[in-house]
Each structure stands twice: as C-alpha cells, then as structure tokens.
Amino acid sequence: MEANYLAQVIQQLWYYSEQVSTSSAAYVKARSLTEQLLSWYEKQDLLPEQLLEEVGQRCLPVHPLAISTITGKRILVTGATGCIGQLLIQELLRYQPAQLATLSRRPTPSFSSSGVTHFTADVRDQAQMETVIKAVQPEIVFHLAAERNPDRAEREEVWAATTNILGTYNILSVCERCPNVEQFIFSSTGKSSRFYTEEVYAATKKICEWLLYHSAVRNPHLRIAFVRFTHVIDNSLMLAELERMLGDRRFISLHGPERFITAQSGLEAAQLLINALAFSQAGRCRFLVIRNLPWPVSTLQIALSALKEHHRHTDELLPIRFVGTPQGYSEKFFRGQVDWQTPRHSHLLLNAYESDRTFIDPMELLMISETSWVFEEPINTLVQELKQFPDRTTVRLLLTQCVQACTRSAIEQANPQRTLRILMTGLNPRYLKLDQCQPQDFSWIITTMITAVVGAMEHGKVQIPQADTQRLVEVCDELSLSQLRQRLQARNYLVAS
C-alpha cells in the first residue's frame, strides 16, 4: 500500500515536471507533491540529518610499503588544482618526500607556502611534459589531470578526448623514456568497468586503462597501476549543482527518482592512490578499488534531505522536477557485468572478467585486480588521430571504433564459458523486467558476446545447454541476428543428432 502511494506521487510528479518552469499551476502542484514525498520519506525514517556526513569521514589506512616508497622520493602530481589532487598533496607531505612538484593548467599559489614546486602546463602538449619531467626528474608520478565531468565531455568531445587520452599518452610516453621514473599511478573511474560504453567520459577512461596496460607490458622497469573511484562527495558535481539550485530558490531538477550513487570521501580517494604504490608490479597493470563501499543512496533521497534542511532555515519548500537522463549518464546497467556467483569478488567497480584476476589485501579493505589484454593497434591509431585535434564528430567516431575493436579483441580471448555465464545473467528475462531493460539496450555487447560464444561452440571449446541455446535464439530474433540464429540452431541440431 505504501509502495503504491509512493509510485503514484512520483508518477504525478513526472507528469507536472515539464511544466514547472513555465506554469504557476504546475509549480504549485509539483511543490505539493514534493511535500508529500518529504512527508513519506520522513515517516519511513529515510531522511537522517547529514545523510552523507558519515561517508565524508571515511578514510583508509596507508600501507607501510607505500609510506616507505614515498619517503625521500621526488614526486610529481598532475591535476593538482583539483579536489583530490590537493588532498593527495596533503597526504604525501605527511610522509616526507624529498621533493613534491605539481602540475596543472592553472597557477596554484597556495602551494608556494608549503614547499611544493608548481608547474603550469597543458598535458595535451608533449613538449611541455618533457620540460616538466626533465626539470623534476620524478621517481613517482601521480597522473590525475583529466576532464571529469561526463556532461561536459558529451558537449566538448575534442577537449575531453585530447585531455584524457592524449594527455595520458603524452606524460606516460615521457615517463617511459625517463630512467628515474619508477612508478606511475593513474586515477580512473568505476564507469570504465563497463564491458562497452558509448559515453565519451567513460570511453576515454577505459581507453586510458588499456594504454596503461600496454605500457606496463612493454616497460617492466616502470611499475604502473591505477585506481577506480566511485562518486567522491568532496568534489561531487551533483552536490554542487544541488547547492546551486537551492541558492537560486526556484526548483530542484533531478534526472529521475531511481538514480543511485555509491559514494566515497576525497580522503579515501587520495589514500587509495597512495596505496597503489604498494601493490603495483613490474610488467603487469594492476588496479585498486575500495572493497567495502557504503550502501547506494538515491539522488531523490539526497535532494529531499537537502530540501528538508533548506526548509528548516528558510521556511520555503522548493518543488522537485524530473528532467530525464542526459547524455553522459544515460547508459543502463547490464546485470551480466558483475560476477554474482563469486560474492567475495563481486563489486560494482569490477566486471565479471576482472573478478577472475582479483585478490583482497590482508586487511580486507581493498580489492586488487588486473586489466586484460586488448588489441593495441586501435589505441595507437586513435592517439595519432587525436594529435591532429579532429572535429567533434570525428572524435566520437574514433572513440567508438577504438572501444569496439579493443572490447571485441578482449572478449574473443576470454574464457567462452565465462562469457556464456555473463550472457545468461544479463539476458535473464526476470532481471531485464525488474531493471526495465530489454536486449536492445545492450545490442552491441550482446551481439559481440553471442558471436564469440557461437564461434567457440563451433570449435568445440564450449557447450551450450539446451535452455541457454533457446534463450540465445530468442534474443537473436529480437535483435535480428539471423545468421547467428542459424549457426546456433545448426550446431544444436548436430549435437542432438
């Protein structure tokens, strides 16, 4: 009964959302519905004071090996003006490096008083990177410089791709040639755990991870690792936008009622980067995630909590409106992405292929995994094209081609039994219905995986049970994959005979 009431209120709020900014009647109605939502959530005790305060206080212990690695070393941090960059600098200074240098596009005068040397440079310019590396002669490099806003990345594809991919390539290639550099640590995102993505920001980070993998294999003298962050509340774009809307005192715009975030603190992020020093390994590309992240919280719950606090101080209640999901945030969650059959290694920031290569640190706070081989040529081609700073349409095409070619190569090399298991989880009709998804939402990755499984089946590398075959045939019909359907049925007929 309670759930039905909540669903009805949300449905009505969706209806009035489009008119909130233009119709006073819709504004009043949306405000009344927001008040009903607020009342319902309070009755369910879902709006504690300082909803995310506990997350902001989280921290990680730093591994002793990481501390000893920092002490007495020359260190360079790129992206130093960012929130995480500044927190990382504060943490590094605790462990007495011989020299700490920072790099960003903007000057950072606040660091001059702390004994930190700052360089103003653009990571997209390799000559500038060579100048900085030559001046600092770092033994450790933390590369954080990036475009991190998914919305801006969708609007400014050239900027995002050249900053994230070309920038990483530039500083990494200089570090490869510098004999002093012992370790290279990179900051990535949980979005790159997706098997496939067409979102610009996620694609750029995913490609960067592949760049790091091939560099690690080619350069065993340089230990390379990266970390994957989830939603860092200290520099949260969503919380900053929420604060801005409260200040405007008009309305609160949300993507929708069923959007969730899993958050971590900025300090955790900085300490995770430092811990990567202790787990990097020559010739391999390892990455770290925080094992025990907080339970996901809905953005609606966060907004209502902020509205409750705002109402207490101003005696005004702003209406919520739902605006739909913009590009950069629109891709749906494919259930096959997570390894549900191995709970100890299941994690939202690790995909099911990566979980096979995952181990947990002795304190059981971190999960450490490795990236897998992908075809390198598409990455090299992309980098060379980005050096010409092509137009935005070309950049989108290049990103898609690169991600598709690399992902296809990884799936073709993967264990076909694992791929079949991923497919059967992701194509479970019950889960698809629960998530309000359909196979068309994941058309490219499903087609690629079915192609790989059918090829492996034809070479006798995997057997597909009858029930799974029937489900795959149904999906082939839905996606108009007639040739794959025929190959599945032909093989199934031979086995049955």
Q: Which residue blocks in 414-458 are alpha helix, DSSP H?
A: 416-426, 429-434, 443-458
**For 230-310, where are the E strands, in sequence order?**
231-232, 252-254, 260-261, 263-264, 285-290, 297-298
User: What CA–CA distances, in Å, run from 409 to 136, 463, 466?
Assistant: 38, 21, 27
What does the pLDDT look like over 390-444, one tens digit per residue?
999 999 999 999 999 999 999 999 999 999 999 999 999 999 999 999 999 999 9
For residue 280, the Cα-to-chain-centroid distance in whole angstroms is 20
Q: What's the whole-number mean pLDDT along residues 45-58?
A: 88
What does the pLDDT look like over 248-264, one tens digit per residue?
999 999 999 988 999 99
- Looking at per-residue confidence, does 113 or 108 come out higher? 108
What is the band of 447 on the pLDDT scale with cuts at 50, 70, 90?
very high
Q: Evaluate if residue 497 carries a pLDDT over 70.
A: no
Q: What's the whole-number mean pLDDT along residues 367-384?
A: 96
Q: Evaluate if residue 291 carries a pLDDT over 80.
A: yes
Q: Write the burial class of residue 309 (CB in 10 Å: 0-12 exposed, 13-18 middle, 19+ buried).
A: middle
User: What CA–CA distances, in Å, run from 489 to 168, 379, 472, 474, 493?
Assistant: 46, 36, 10, 11, 6
Rama region for 4: left / alpha / beta (φ>0; ψ in -120 to 50; rest): alpha
The pLDDT value given to residue 108? 67
Q: Evaluate if residue 495 carries a pLDDT over 50.
A: no
Residue 260's contacts (CB-CB under 8 Å, 6 or more residues apart) are 296, 297, 298, 299
Which residue type, as a one-letter code, is found at position 24? S
What is the band of 279 on the pLDDT scale with cuts at 50, 70, 90?
very high
Best CA proximity match to 151, nearest among 323, 332, 392, 328: 328
Q: State what percent of residues in the chain have pLDDT above 70.
A: 97
First to last CA, the chain: 54
Best CA proximity match to 165, nearest among 104, 132, 122, 209: 209
Q: Evaluate if residue 493 carries a pLDDT over 60.
A: no
Q: Which residue blocks in 389-428 are alpha helix, DSSP H?
A: 392-413, 416-426
For residue 241, the Cα-to-chain-centroid distance in whole angstroms is 20
Residue 178's contacts (CB-CB under 8 Å, 6 or more residues apart) are 133, 134, 137, 138
Q: Evaluate if residue 109 carries a pLDDT over 70.
A: no
What is the band of 341 on the pLDDT scale with cuts at 50, 70, 90?
confident
Separate counts of helices (H) and strands (E) for the chain:
20, 15
State how far the Cα of 249 lies from the Cα of 319, in Å rounded to an integer. Answer: 10
The pLDDT value given to residue 494? 46
